[in-house]
Structure 1
Amino acid sequence: MPRPAAAPGEITVVIPCYNYGHYLPHAVESVLSQHDVDARVIIVDDASPDGSATVAQALADRYPERVRALLHTRNLGHIATYNDGLALVDTEFVTLVSADDVIADGALGRATRLMQAHPQVGLVYGHAASFEDDGDRSHADEFSPPHRPLPETWSIWHGHEWIEWSVRRGRNFILSPEAVLRTDAMHHAGGYDPALPHSGDLHYWLRVAAHWDVGRVNGSPQAWYRVHGGNMHLTTFATMAVDLRHRLAAFNALTDPDLDLEDADELLERARRALAREALLIAARSLDAGDPAEAVAPLRQVAAEISAASAQSRRARLLGRRIARQSRGMPPATAQRALEHGRRQLDRVRWRIWETAGIS
């Protein structure tokens, strides 16, 4: 259960920005208005052509003791932007938040209190609620939990246990803006890997969890995650296949000798099986919903690439039968549609479990 801290924690919020200058004032205000924590901000503008650097500097001038602006003179990409900001952190705790996301009221205090009470915890997260907007977020009261908040509690996993949950599901349980790190854990993990621009977060959490415990603040949302066209949503089967490959690249880090995981090969193999299973399941669900057989070919291919054994699995054989049926011009059977309906109900249950417990 939560315990009061002896003194407020000191935390730096690194805000990378590219063409999101119109979001910066609200993002910064969501940090400076936090209570029960000593929070400051580092804005890193990656040579935005929209005038974001001017907004960032104006905020630094307005709050000289709490806001710092680092302005790139040429575009270096988001990974370098992350790392440049993180390299300037000198507080005990740190978090990386996109300029268009919002930290929930009281979230930083809740996260730092957990780590102050449990020195071996290097990473804390919580529920990140999504929202859509039209680009105008001038009022903080526009954000409120979509459901009645649960009582605040803490969950703590041994780092290896959390990794096991992640490989078992082949998933990244953390969206990103809700994650808070102990700065010592950040230094131990090093910077974000430029070779993994699309799965760097998952890669980072695995590296931290290899040496530190993982905590979660349960109850109210810890952050608000903006959903928009630029988010890497999976809208086609081809992009779903690409996402699975990116996740595999992140899980490959488990065999890095620096992580010192004795069962690294076994963990990686379990992750491979989970990713291949997910690819085949998505393909089967799509066919059961009436999608054409040729559309799911990228998923079938990526499953075989990730885990050769998956091609001989029962799930793969059942998928082959579905494809054969569709190829003959036959619609999904009643049983297929009923099965997909049941899966959707299970999705809702799993989503609620993830929202409440942080793993599913």
Structure 2
Amino acid sequence: MKSSTPEGISFVIPCFNSGDYLVEAVESLIQQPHAFPYEIVVVDDGSDEQHTLRALAQCAEHAEVRVLRQEHSGHHAARNAGIDAASFKYVMQLDADDRLATAPELLKSGSYPDRAVRFLKTHQHVAFVHTMSRMIGDFDGLTISSYPCREELILRKHHVPTSIVYRRDDAIRGGLYDPHVRKWGDWAFAVNLLAGRFRSGDHNSVVCIAGPLHEYRVHSRTRRVSNVEVSEFDMTLLVVEKNLDLFRDRFNRDDSAEDITRDVLASKPSRLVDLIRMAEFDLEQALAVARQREFSLSSPYKGLGIP
């Protein structure tokens, strides 16, 4: 761990053959109205497609961008490498096929990264900041988990987006991304971060900046991790076993990791519960989502991996 990290934010973008969208992702970060120093760390996870190599070279021409290269090791390893190499105190990750919103009407109060950093600088009890996600590409609309989350919901399997803003030291102390958790890795990362702060005696408040200020691209041109077929019980059990002290404390029970994992999965919000929570936060927003999904909570768009 670096002994002294300057104020500012590092954006980490893992990239494996995602040249179709990488330049857009980087430019969306550069176009933010930044008040704090920043850098963009692109981690090339062994890309071998020529258009991606050209995109990486194009991005590297920006003074704000550093491109790190590693042998193909997977997106978790790439994210961890980017966090480890980050120069600034705060970090936000962005997938290479996603973007931050750049519409002026959404940025009147400042950029999402700047507003998140201000919260983290002045409120030590805040573990991380998140914003809502608008889907772009093959589908347009808010994700169904577009409402404020908190520690209690996260420990009961509430969705956590990739684009949270957090303290670099908290992420390292929590153990970063676990490469063994092959799906639901962002949720696992958030739990690790919360558990690391719990062990240090810190509070774990979560702040939501509504937006939506993150743009999640829905497409079928590259295979997303969200479409991988793995056992949710097995992946959740890995996270619970690693952070059993936090789960036992928050669930107020001394059960086995297996029993707590069953409880976690049983309390995972259904699409109906997500929609109700969204309605409690913003009724018009929830109605719009219901209309966009053609009133089908089973989602006719499941094949696209729409959250």
Q: What's the TM-score once normalised by structure 1's chain length?
A: 0.61
Asked if 1:198 is matched to 2:176, the reply is no
**Equivalent residue of 1:95, what SS?**
strand
Structure (1 or 2) with the larger CA radius of gyration: 1
Which ranges of structure 2 fall in alignment gaps of 5 or more residues? 1-5, 103-110, 286-307
- In the alignment, which residue of structure 2 is the partner of 1:273? 263
* Structure 1 residues 146 and 97: alpha-carbon distance in aligned structure 2, compared to 1, 3 A threshold: closer
Report the CA distance between 1:112 and its aligned residue. 0.9
Amino acid of the structure 2 residue aligned with 1:57: A
**Equivalent residue of 1:222, what SS?**
strand
- In the alignment, which residue of structure 2 is the partner of 1:302? none
* Structure 1 residues 275 and 30: alpha-carbon distance in aligned structure 2, compared to 1, 3 A threshold: same
Counterpart CA distance in 1 for 2:248 and 2:95 is 31
Counterpart CA distance in 1 for 2:87 and 2:169 is 10
Asked if 1:172 is matched to 2:158, the reply is yes
Q: Which residues in structure 2 correspond to 1:147-162 (within 5 Å)? A: 162=151
Asked if 1:98 is matched to 2:95, the reply is yes
How far does the alpha carbon of each residue in 1:79-115 deviate from its partner, in whole angstroms, 9 at most, with x for none?
Answer: 2211111111120100111100112341111211111
Which ranges of structure 1 fall in alignment gaps of 5 or more residues? 1-7, 135-142, 283-342
Identity of aligned residues (%): 25
**Equivalent residue of 1:217, what SS?**
strand
Report the CA distance between 1:174 and its aligned residue. 1.1
- In the alignment, which residue of structure 1 is the partner of 2:49? 50
Q: Which residues in structure 2 correspond to 1:92-241 (within 5 Å)? A: 92-105=89-102, 106-133=111-138, 162=151, 164-167=152-155, 170-177=156-163, 179-210=164-195, 211=197, 212=202, 213-229=204-220, 230-233=223-226, 239=229
Amino acid of the structure 2 residue aligned with 1:272: R
The root-mean-square deviation of aligned C-alpha atoms, in Å, is: 3.7
How far does the alpha carbon of each residue in 1:238-297 deviate from its partner, in whole angstroms, 9 at most, with x for none?
Answer: x5x82343233323322169x99585745954442241466xx98xxxxxxxxxxxxxxx
**Equivalent residue of 1:23, what SS?**
helix
* Structure 1 residues 355 and 102: alpha-carbon distance in aligned structure 2, compared to 1, 3 A threshold: farther
**Equivalent residue of 2:92, what SS?**
strand
- In the alignment, which residue of structure 2 is the partner of 1:68? 66
Asked if 1:249 is matched to 2:238, the reply is yes
Equivalent of 1:79 in 76, 79, 87: 76
Native 8 Å contact 2:9 2:88 kept in 1: yes
Q: How many correspondences in the alignment?
A: 257
